Structures are given as C-alpha cells and as structure tokens.
Amino acid sequence: QDVVNRMAAGEVLARPCNAIKELVENSLDAGATEIMVNMQNGGLKLLQVSDNGKGIEREDFALVCERFATSKLQKFEDLMHMKTYGFRGEALASLSHVAKVNIVSKRADAKCAYQANFLDGKMTADTKPAAGKNGTCITATDLFYNLPTRRNKMTTHGEEAKMVNDTLLRFAIHRPDVSFALRQNQAGDFRTKGDGNFRDVVCNLLGRDVADTILPLSLNSTRLKFTFTGHISKPIASATAAIAQNRKTSRSFFSVFINGRSVRCDILKHPIDEVLGARQLHAQFCALHLQIDETRIDVNVHPTKNSVIFLEKEEIIEEIRAYFEKVIGEIFG
C-alpha cells in the first residue's frame, strides 16, 4: 500500500516546484502576509516554506498529513469546489509519502509552538513544544529519497531551482499584498515588500522600463459569467524584443490565474498572442486573471497539468480576443 501511495504521490508532486505551489497555496489559505521559501539543491535536499498565517492547532497536527483530511470543507457547496480543484486534503499527505516532513506551527492564542515529524501519511511521534513565532513552517527534506526513478527524472539542481523561483514569482506578481521571499544564496533570490504595490513587484522583476508601461486590462461578461482582468506591459516590436532577449537584458513573464489558482493555461494566451502576432508585437509582461463561475469550468484532476476545461471555451476566447483587439487598437491606432 505504501508503494502505491508513494508512486501516486510522485505523480502528483512530480518536482520541487509542484510541492512549492501546494505549500504556498496553503500559506495563503491560512491568511499569511509573509511567506518565505528556503531551498537547497534545487529543493531536492531541502524545501521549506514558512509563513505568518493562522497556524495549526496542536490537536490537528495528527490529521494534516492524512489523505483527504482538510480543514477547508465546511459547507456542502464546498464539495463543488472540491471537484474543481480535485485535490483537497492531498498535498501534505502526498508530500509525506515522498519526503521527510517536519512541521512547526504556532497559533496566536497558543502559549508556544509545537512541532512534529511525518512519514508516509503518519505523524511519527507525538507533537512536542518548540520555539517558533506565530505561523507555520513546513520543511521537506530528501525529496524522492524513496523514489529513485522519480529522482532520476530531475534535471540539474539549477533547473529545478529556476522552476521553484518561477513558481514563486507568479505568486508574488499575483499577490502584491503579500511579501514573498526566496532564500537560497543564489542569483535567483528575491523579496517583495508585500505593500500592495504591483508596479514595484514588476519593476523588481523586469526593470523600470517595463514596469512604467504597464496597462490594466478589464473585461466583464455578464452573459458568460466571467471577469477577465490583468496587466500587460506596452507591447513592443517583436524584432526589438527578440534582440533584447538575445542579449539577455530582459526576461519575459506570462501568467494565468483562474479563480485565484495559478494554472498553465495556454487557451487564455492564444487570443493575446493572436492579436499581438498579427501586428508583429510582443509583450514582455502579461499577468491575467480569470474569475469564472465554478460550475462552468473543470480543472483536470491531475494537479501538475493544471489544465482547465471550459464549458463555453470558444465564446469566452472570442470575447477576450475582441476586447484585446480593441485595447491594442486604442494604443496603436
């Protein structure tokens, strides 16, 4: 049984960046305003997320790494969301099947912090009092120590670290009201202030030149029950962008969040690419948010794919394309 659980967990958390996404989402769900990520060897040796969120009660420790144990399903309607994310109460359980997990957590109303270790979905010994500030710190060591085949599928530590960095940047851009920090004593380290200043985050990431040209996007469709918002940097000629890319003087950033969750969703990228492509333009920065009625989408149960099925895909895409065409038309005539 353990082997089956382990293999399943290795599919769900295929790389360090998948684990980071789950841990950061938990921190955000816990209301954290400061989230710090530490890693060693691309997250394979050590992966740690600490937050200043509401913490875990001592009595709940034993449950957090149990499969399908979640504190987030309280109402019947929540079951609908469960279908949408297809992954409730599985993240920490999965992590404990493929790594050695330690949790230190303190609730504001508790006298001290508590800590415990977890292995294969179980707490290995009772919780012990520990030093710690309000919030939670989850540490996973020796990721995939028990899954050599999975471990062999990893690229270099540097590549894995880059994917973790990229995952965290997406959150930082999406939530300028939260301070994110990445610490690994390397070039990719960063820290955002968390003061809600979106432009500052972009400036930090892509430089002032790009940040100064950011335009807001906003489209509300009452008919298709969605709201499309976001930011895009003023597009520049593709040729110029390509030269900049070659010189490595600039990076590109593109992200999509659907109902507050980061997804790799090319479907939403297509209408933007199409409009820009037709004018030989390129945008270095584009962050999109789609807020849509939960009953009209379905997120693939395989969490690492993060693919999304839309009921009225064609119509949604067409509305976004037409809107974007108008925005670009207003800028470039």
Are 301 and 86 in contact by the 8 Å Cβ rule? The answer is: yes
* Residue 319 binding result from ligand ADP, Mg ion, none, given CB thresholds of 5 to 8 Å by partner type: none
Are 328 and 275 in contact by the 8 Å Cβ rule? The answer is: yes
Q: Which is nearer to ligand ADP, 127 or 136 (CB)?
A: 136
Binding region for ligand ADP (CB under 6 A) out of 66-74, 112-120, 286-294, 318-326: 66-74
- 122-123 and 297-299 as β-strands: parallel, antiparallel, unpaired? unpaired
CA distance 322 to 255: 20
Binding region for ligand ADP (CB under 6 A) out of 91-99, 122-130, 144-152, 325-333: 91-99
Of residues 119-148, those binding ligand ADP (CB under 6 A): 136
Of residues 167-196, those binding ligand ADP (CB under 6 A): none
Dihedrals φ, ψ of 23, to 5°?
-65, -40
* Residue 89 binding result from ligand ADP, Mg ion, none, given CB thresholds of 5 to 8 Å by partner type: ligand ADP
Q: How far is the CB of 3 from ligand ADP (least distance, A)?
A: 21
CA distance 309 to 265: 10
Question: Is residue 103 within a helix (H) or strand (E), and if so which, with residue range?
Answer: strand 100-106
Chain residues that interact with Mg ion, rule: CB under 5 A:
26, 91
- Tracing tokens 């709201």 back to the chain, one arrives at 227
Q: Which is nearer to Mg ion, 26 or 233 (CB)?
A: 26
CB atoms within 10 A of CB 70: 20
84 contacts ligand ADP (rule: CB under 6 A): no
Q: How far is the CB of 89 from Mg ion (least distance, A)?
A: 7
Binding region for ligand ADP (CB under 6 A) out of 90-98, 111-119, 194-202, 282-290: 90-98
241 contacts ligand ADP (rule: CB under 6 A): no
Q: Which is nearer to ligand ADP, 71 or 295 (CB)?
A: 71
CB atoms within 10 A of CB 42: 24
CB atoms within 10 A of CB 72: 12
For 204-238, b where at least 16 C-beta lie within 10 A, e where not — what string? bbbeeebbebbeebebebeebbbebebbbbbbbee
Q: Which is nearer to ligand ADP, 167 or 284 (CB)?
A: 167
Binding region for ligand ADP (CB under 6 A) out of 47-55, 194-202, 222-230, 306-314: 47-55
Dihedrals φ, ψ of 112, to 5°?
-145, 175
72 contacts ligand ADP (rule: CB under 6 A): yes
Question: Is residue 48 within a helix (H) or strand (E), and if so which, with residue range?
Answer: strand 46-51
Site string for ligand ADP, 15-44 (x = CB under 6 A): -------x---xx--x--------------
Binding stretches for ligand ADP (CB under 6 A): 22, 26-27, 30, 51, 53-56, 64, 70-72, 88-93, 136
